Structure 1
Amino acid sequence: MKILHTSDWHLGRQFHNVSLLDDQRHVLQQIIDYAVSSGVDVVIIAGDIYDRSVPPANAVSVMSEVISQLHQAGIIVIITSGNHDGAERLGFAAGVMASQGVHILSDLSKFCEPIVVNDEVAFYGIPFADPVSVRHAFGVEVNTHDEAMAYLTQRITDIADPSLATVVIAHCFIDGGEPSDSERPLSLGGADCVSYQHFIPFSYTALGHLHGRQYKGSEHIRYSGSPLKYSFSETKQIKSFTVVELTPSSFSFEQIPLIPKRDMRRLEGELQQVLESGVNDSARDDYLYVALTDTHAIMDVMSKLRDVYPNVLHVERPGLMKSNDTRALNKQRKQQSEERMFSDFFSQVMGQPMTKEQQTCLHKTLQSLLE
């Protein structure tokens, strides 16, 4: 059986107040085209379909388009809810849709009801579940994410048919996983970590939550990663989806790269260098983080950059902060005069003291303000 594993679409997400919906539609069409042309039997979406529990109407519309195309191609779709999704809203009309081959698994109480496809593979979907929801649903005493997942996976192990390949779909943070800045923490202080050992007995585990593709413990316990870069911490990640060939006794996989409509990159250098390089840059529309190394003040930096790179989203000025050792202000400095504080600030930023002419100008300005 050929299975396509993807996750963390975050439909409706905005990045620096820029809608990513067109970018999302672009890569999702690549997933659909591959699934249809390559004879994929089942598409798994392992949580975080939407970016928030009440998604905007245009995000729901994109999701509807995707499901319709996959359904028309006769491909079974299995969806679980993630921590960003509203489980009850996502599961609306799930019973009716299941009869059409679209299975939305967002009801934790039904996680032990497998979807068996072609009498070959049993799919178990675990909606995002924190310890509180597991205690409430099953009346068991679990206090951590790891204990909750241990309970859920053991339940599946106990009932799984050994004659079938078993696929578990989960949305969690495997201990030792490599996170990105764009992921919402599941809890504070690392208490959300789950051991990969719980998933060892299964034929394949399709994970969601971490946005970088990776595996933990064994190659059959995999995060597909998000289809797009959702933070500048992900600029070096390769975005893809995972295609799994599965039988009761064998497992193989392939990662198919996705080509974004606009990439997400970092540029560094002096302003003039960045502007000159943009003249012949064929990817000027990419989403950019720009770190300028100029050590002097520049007026209207963002406007100058966007004349060449229209999608500059963030600008840093590390060149203005040369003297890292002298940046902290202590209590004594806070009690100093305005003139002395500004003089110290100038030295920290510029890496050199004020000239006599600058000191005179500052003194006159402060006197005028005080008067």
Structure 2
Amino acid sequence: MRLLHTADWHLGRLFHNVSLLDDQRVVLDQLIEIVDRDAVDAVLVAGDVFDRAVPPAGAITLLDDVLFELCDKRGLPVVMISGNHDSAERLRFGARHLRKAGLHILSDLAHCATPVTLAARGVEVDVFGIPYADPEHVRSRFEVDVRDFDAAHRFLVERIDAARRPDCPTILMSHCFVDGGTASDSERPLNLGGAESVAWEPMRHFDYVALGHLHGPQYRGGEHIRYSGSFLKYSFSEARQRKGVTLVDIDKQGAVTTDWRTLIPRREVRVLEGELETLLREAESAAPEHRDDYLLVRLSDRHALLDPMSKLRAFYPNVLHLEKPGMLEARGAQQLDREKLHFSALDMFGDFFEQTSGEALDEEQKEVMRRLIDELAKEGTP
């Protein structure tokens, strides 16, 4: 059986306030071409189908068009789970009825131990899905004492492991941050406190693990525990990442092989660095197909520049962000800012103290406050 593993579509995404719907349609058309060319039997979408809980109408229309092509026209099963950007409740609207059409939306934790059974080419595979769920949700739903993402995820994996058929190959889908994974700027943190990672070890016994959340293609713990990555670059930190989808072949014994298919974006995402005049000279000879790329320009000039954005956009209309690190003596400026902060913080506290107490700080009180401010500043210094 041949499966196509993809994730993190983020339909409706804005990139520096530019809608990517047309870009997303281009790569989804390529995805459908891969399905046809490589004789795919089913498609797995490992979460973050939409970019936000209430997606724009255009994103919903695009998803509907793609699912019509896959499920209705081609009769292919599609299995998707909800991610942290999705609203699980909205995504699974009509899910019970859509199963008859081959669309399986797994976004209810209560049913995570119930598999979707796929059959093709004489091979039968059980697919289990763990939608994104924070520890509080798992703790409330199952009345178990889990306090972090790892404990919550481990609990759900163990429930699924207990429900597996020993004689049937099993695929696990999960939207999570596996410990040690390489993140990029466009992924929304799962937890503001930072304790968001989960261990790969509980998943190692599954025949294949289709992961979502991290936008760079990678694997953790074993080549069968894999992120397909997003199919477009959603931040400039992803400029050097390759984007595509993963083909997964699995046989009756659960033996798995994977292959990669590259997707070609409508516009590339690039970072240009250098002095303005140099970049403008290079732009005159730039290939026409690169002029519409989405660009971050990082200028190294150390003197004031007159309207550099307009000059750059005369050649590159999609310059989305401009940085000028050359105009700052970074370390000196940071040190100066810290010193100003020390003095102004003491002055501000002195004004506040005098207004509330009616008395000015004496020298002993000033010294105590000065030491406290210095200690806080040191704690905040990287």
- TM-score normalised to structure 1 length: 0.88
Aligned partner (choices 204, 223, 234) of residue 219 of structure 1? 223
Whole-Å separation in 2 of the counterparts to 1:185 and 1:295: 35
Matches within 5 A, 1:317-328: 317-322=324-329, 324-327=331-334, 328=336
The verdict on how the C-alpha distance between 1:165 and 1:232 changes in structure 2, with shifts beyond 3 A counting, is same
Paired residue for 2:65? 65
Could you say what secondary structure the match of 1:10 adopts? coil
Distance 1:134 1:334, change over 3 A: closer
The answer to whether the 8 Å contact 1:36/1:70 transfers is no
Provide the rounded CA distance (Å) in 1 between the counterparts of 2:48 and 2:239: 21
* Other-structure match for 1:250: 255
Distance across 2 between alignment mates of 1:80 and 1:259 = 25
- From the superposition, tell whether residues 192 and 319 of structure 1 become closer, same or farther in structure 2 (CA, over 3 Å): same
Q: Contact 1:149–1:198 (CA<8 Å) still a contact in 2?
A: no
Is 1:175 the counterpart of 2:182? The answer is: no
- Does the C-alpha gap of structure 1 residues 139 and 33 become closer, same or farther in structure 2, counting only changes over 3 Å? same
What SS class does the counterpart of residue 224 from structure 2 fall into?
strand
**RMSD value, Cα:** 1.4
Q: How many residues align?
A: 335
Q: How does 1:282-297 map to 2 (within 5 A)?
A: 282=287, 283-297=290-304
Where in structure 1 are there 5+ consecutive unaligned residues? 336-371
Paired position in structure 2 for 1:90: 91
Distance between the aligned counterparts of 1:326 and 1:304, measured in 2?
28
Q: Flag the 1:331–1:324 CA change in 2: closer, same or farther, 3 A.
A: closer
Please report the TM-score for the alignment, with normalisation by the length of structure 2. 0.85
CA distance in 2, matches of 1:180, 1:250: 31
Tell me which amino acid in the other structure corresponds to 2:88: A
Alignment partner, residue 117 of structure 1: 118
Deviation readout 1:184-217 (Å, 9 max, x if unpaired): 0001233111000011010000000000000000
Distance (whole Å) between structure 2 residues aligned to residue 184 and residue 125 of structure 1 = 21
Deviations 1:41-92 (A, max 9, x none): 1100000000000000000000001101111112110010000000010001
Tell me which amino acid in the other structure corresponds to 2:302: T
How far, CA to CA, are the matches of 2:81 and 2:209 in structure 1? Answer: 13
Q: Percent identity?
A: 50
Question: Displacement, 1:334?
Answer: 6.6
Distance 2:271 2:257 in 1: 35
The residue number in structure 2 matching 1:28 is 28
| Cα distance between partner residues in 1 of 2:193 and 2:54 | 27
Matches within 5 A, 1:187-336: 187-247=191-251, 248-282=253-287, 283-322=290-329, 324-327=331-334, 328-329=336-337, 330-331=339-340
Residue type of the alignment partner of 2:167: S
Do the aligned partners of residues 159 and 285 (structure 1) sit closer, same or farther apart at CA in structure 2, a change above 3 Å counting? Answer: same
CA contact (8 A) 2:9 2:48 kept: yes
User: CA distance change for structure 1 residues 89 and 332 in 2, over 3 Å: closer, same or farther?
Assistant: closer
Q: Is the 8 Å Cα contact of residues 84 and 190 (structure 2) preserved in structure 1? A: yes
Question: Which piece of structure 1 moves more, 235-244 or 186-195?
Answer: 186-195
1:37 CA drift (Å) = 2.2
Aligned AA (2:33): D
- Runs of 4+ in structure 1 deviating by more than 6 angstroms, as ranges, are 332-335
The answer to whether the 8 A contact 2:81-2:130 is kept is yes
Does structure 1 retain, via aligned residues, the 8 Å contact 2:299–2:326? yes
Query: Partner amino acid for 1:70?
Result: L
SS in 2 for 1:31: helix
Secondary structure of residue in 2 paired with 1:241: strand
d(CA) in 1 for partners of 2:257, 2:194: 32
Say which SS state the counterpart of residue 282 (structure 2) adopts.
Answer: helix
Specify the code of the residue in structure 2 equivalent to 1:25: R
Kept in 1: contact 2:170–2:254 (CA 8 A): no
